[in-house]
């Protein structure tokens, strides 16, 4: 057990050391010129969350960049959850409201709605977000337009950060920690040339990326397949969008049960990953899981030696500096100092998440 602990410790120390050394590249913010005429298509799919759509509409009206169209796809919502037409009037941007059931006979998952919305986009570049998500800044679309105008309509993908609202309580801190760690990892691995994940709350791409790849639509997946759009692109460039002005903010799960359901639903994508992505997932999560497991085993069996203790301190140190540097750039400063405690607590939940993903109760209603 001691030997295994030392092996996993060395692996974690080396990996986190590389992440710390690469941080300035991951969060590099090159200077770009801005074009207020650059057109965008914002695509939002919703199902039975009309209040969130209203909140999003209000946030989009406040954007400094207004040369965009908003495509709202009603993904088989109940009758009392339709968007009132008066909400769509008097906006400084064009809105297209589409009821998917008018065109499709059955509901086949969220990606079907996304694909349909993107197919209706008038502009080449699509900004995909969720109905329960709002821009963290009035410069959200401004920042995106500033980045995209350099691309001359090349087929590319930009992955952004979708944060969760800061609320009181330990559960909220664990949810935000887990979200920030996932983002730090997918930003890092993308910078290293191994893009494997993204979040649909803040995802930008040329519309042909999706329309030319209909096989990405997986009918049996209820959600969580934004990862597949990223990892199955071959040679298409995938870029990080790490300017804090480009971040979005979502409503977090309020209860432990809802968080477990959400995570279980998201993890349904894992079986579709390539072996490279599965290896990255092992390095991201399982290294930490086994490191904590072997350390606790050593501590409980009273075999804690000076070498083990020194190795533990070294890994704690690299972990602290990794979380401090990356979470500062993600504007999650309040999570830095207790990050290793949050890491341990979140790891305890992942076996539950993985077990629950095989049960039907996590599906969207």
Judge whether 139 and 207 are in contact, CB under 8 Å. Answer: no
CA-atom Rg of the chain in angstroms: 21
Residue written as tokens 């969130």?
Answer: 52
The predicted pLDDT at position 101 comes to: 81
Judge whether 59 and 86 are in contact, CB under 8 Å. Answer: no
pLDDT in tens, 307-364: 999 999 999 999 999 999 999 999 999 999 899 999 999 999 988 887 776 666 545 5
The predicted pLDDT at position 154 comes to: 76
Burial 163-200 (b: 16+ CB within 10 A, else e): bbeeeeeebbbbbbbbbbbbbbbbbbbbbeeebbbbbb
The predicted pLDDT at position 152 comes to: 60
Per-10-residue mean pLDDT, the chain, length 365: 91 95 87 82 92 92 93 87 77 87 73 86 94 94 88 80 96 97 94 86 91 64 63 79 95 93 80 78 87 91 85 95 96 94 93 73 51
For domain 30-170+194-253, is the CATH number 3.10.620.30? no
Domain range list for the chain? 30-170+194-253
Average pLDDT, the chain: 86
Our CA dihedral for 58, 64, 68, 72, rounded to 10 degrees, sits at -20
The predicted pLDDT at position 363 comes to: 54
pLDDT in tens, 164-202: 999 999 999 999 999 999 999 999 999 998 888 888 899
Pairing of strands 203-206, 125-130: antiparallel
The predicted pLDDT at position 107 comes to: 65
Pairwise CA distance, residues 168 & 58, whole Å = 25
pTM: 0.90
């Amino acid at each position: 057990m001691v030997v295994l602990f030392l092996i996993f410790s060395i692996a974690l120390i080396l990996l986190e050391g590389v992440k710390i050394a690469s941080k300035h590249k991951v969060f590099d913010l090159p200077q770009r010129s801005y074009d207020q005429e650059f057109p965008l298509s914002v695509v939002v799919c919703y199902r039975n969350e009309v209040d969130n759509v209203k909140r999003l509409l209000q946030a989009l009206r406040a954007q400094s960049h207004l040369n965009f169209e908003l495509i709202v796809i009603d993904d088989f919502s109940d009758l009392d959850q339709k968007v009132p037409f008066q909400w769509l009037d008097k906006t400084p941007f064009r809105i297209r409201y589409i009821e998917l059931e008018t065109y499709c006979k059955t509901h086949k998952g969220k990606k079907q709605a996304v694909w349909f919305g993107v197919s209706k986009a008038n502009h080449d570049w699509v900004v995909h977000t969720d109905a329960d998500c709002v821009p963290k800044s009035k410069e959200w679309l401004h920042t995106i337009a500033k980045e995209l105008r350099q691309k001359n309509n090349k087929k590319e993908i930009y992955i952004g950060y979708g944060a969760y609202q800061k609320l009181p309580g330990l559960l909220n801190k664990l949810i935000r920690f887990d979200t920030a760690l996932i983002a730090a990892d997918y930003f890092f691995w993308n910078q290293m040339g191994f893009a494997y994940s993204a979040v649909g709350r803040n995802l930008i791409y040329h519309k042909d990326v999706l329309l030319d790849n209909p096989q990405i639509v997986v009918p049996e997946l209820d959600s969580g397949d934004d990862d597949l759009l990223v990892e199955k692109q071959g040679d298409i460039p995938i870029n990080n969008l790490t300017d804090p002005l480009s971040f979005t903010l979502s409503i977090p799960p309020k209860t432990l049960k809802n968080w477990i359901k959400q995570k279980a639903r998201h993890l349904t994508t894992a079986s579709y990953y390539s072996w490279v992505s599965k290896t990255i997932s092992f390095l991201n999560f399982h290294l930490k899981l086994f490191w904590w497991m072997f350390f606790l085993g050593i501590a409980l069996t009273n075999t804690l030696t000076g070498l083990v203790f020194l190795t533990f301190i070294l890994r704690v140190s690299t972990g602290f500096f990794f979380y401090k540097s990356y979470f500062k750039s993600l504007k999650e400063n309040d999570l830095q100092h207790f990050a290793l405690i949050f890491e341990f607590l979140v790891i305890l939940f992942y076996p539950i998440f993985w077990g629950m993903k095989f049960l039907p109760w996590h599906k969207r209603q």
